């Protein structure tokens, strides 16, 4: 069945984090699964990301040219970014042990790309043409290496997703208040024995 790429699935706040979050419930082997297991979903994710990440992309479109090698590059960068950022959130600093894999994965995704990124109003290059999804993923991931960027990354205590906390007092707890925040409230009620119902399950 096709994944419905809803707004909630773009709670990460950056293309690179939304991509890491295509693995659901990381750290819970019994329930974790990969939304890119059907690799056709990568192109559908990219199409949805054009809309949900339009501000980050400067309105630029994303194109994903399917090949086994392209899929592999996306997955390798997704996993390297997840490892590096999760460790940084937990330890409070970027662990250089994670950088070689991360940077190699970014380099592979940028191979043969010829974009001019970061110009005024064109953060991902000229919006009149789409950018390759892999290249955009690498640009987004590399933007997280800036100190003020990765220090805003959080781990959702309900679903374990990564997200950027852009709240004014840096106090955002949940990836998505309307999903994980509410589920946690429900769970607390349930634990107090006031509410009968199932365990919180991520969608």
The DSSP call for residue 119 is: B
Cβ atoms 28, 160 nearer than 8 A: yes
Residue 159 binding Zn ion, by CB under 5 A: yes
- Does position 117 bind Zn ion by CB under 5 A? no
Q: Which CB sits closer to Zn ion, 116 or 166?
A: 166
* Residue 61 CB, nearest approach to Zn ion (Å): 28
| Dist. CA 139–CA 72, nearest whole Å | 17
Q: By CB under 5 A, which span of 13-21, 23-31, 48-56, 167-175 interacts with Zn ion?
A: 167-175
> From the CB of 68, what's the least distance to Zn ion, in Å?
31
In the region spanning residues 40 to 79, those forming contacts with Zn ion, defined by CB under 5 A, are: none
- Between residues 124 and 161, which has the closer beta carbon with respect to Zn ion? 161
Region binding Zn ion by CB under 5 A among candidate stretches 82-90, 117-125, 128-136, 170-178 = 170-178
Calpha distance 62→59 (Å, rounded): 10
Task: Choose the stretch contacting Zn ion; rule: CB under 5 A; options: 48-56, 74-82, 160-168, 187-195.
Answer: 160-168
Helix (H) or strand (E) holding 162: strand 162-164
Q: Which of 144, 156, 162, 164 binds Zn ion (CB under 5 A)?
A: 156
Q: Which of 20, 143, 158, 184 is the binder for Zn ion (CB under 5 A)?
A: 158
Q: Using the rule CB under 5 A, which residue among 109, 144, 164, 180 binds Zn ion?
A: 180
Of 36, 202, 199, 203, which is closest to residue 133 (Cα–Cα)? 36
Residues 6+ apart with CB under 8 A from 163: 11, 12, 13, 17, 21, 153, 154, 156, 172, 175
d(CA 194, CA 106): 49
Instruction: Provide the token pair at 71.
Output: 């899929």
CB of 120 to Zn ion, least distance (A): 34
Stretch that binds Zn ion, among 21-29, 71-79, 140-148, 157-165 (CB under 5 A): 157-165
Helix (H, G, I), strand (E, B) or coil at 22: coil
Q: Residue written as tokens 């090949």?
A: 67
Residue found by looking up tokens 């590399």 in the block = 142
Q: What residue ranges bind Zn ion (CB under 5 A)?
A: 156, 158-159, 161, 175, 180
């Amino acid at each position: 069945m096709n994944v419905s790429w809803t707004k909630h699935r773009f709670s990460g706040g950056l293309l690179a984090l939304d991509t890491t979050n295509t693995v659901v419930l990381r750290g819970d082997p019994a329930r974790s699964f990969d939304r890119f297991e059907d690799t056709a979903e990568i192109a559908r994710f990219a199409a949805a990301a054009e809309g949900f990440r339009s501000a980050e992309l400067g309105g630029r479109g994303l194109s994903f040219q399917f090949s086994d090698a392209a899929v592999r590059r996306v997955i390798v960068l997704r996993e390297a970014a997840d490892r590096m950022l999760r460790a940084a959130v937990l330890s409070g600093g970027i662990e250089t042990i994670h950088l070689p894999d991360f940077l190699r994965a970014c380099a592979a995704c940028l191979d043969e790309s010829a974009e001019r990124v970061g110009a005024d109003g064109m953060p991902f290059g000229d919006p009149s043409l789409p950018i390759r999804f892999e290249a955009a993923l690498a640009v987004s991931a590399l933007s997280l290496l800036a100190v003020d960027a990765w220090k805003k990354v959080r781990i959702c205590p309900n679903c374990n997703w990564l997200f950027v906390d852009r709240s004014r007092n840096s106090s955002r707890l949940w990836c998505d208040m309307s999903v994980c925040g509410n589920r946690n409230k429900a769970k607390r009620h349930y634990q107090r024995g006031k509410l009968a119902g199932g365990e919180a399950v991520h969608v």
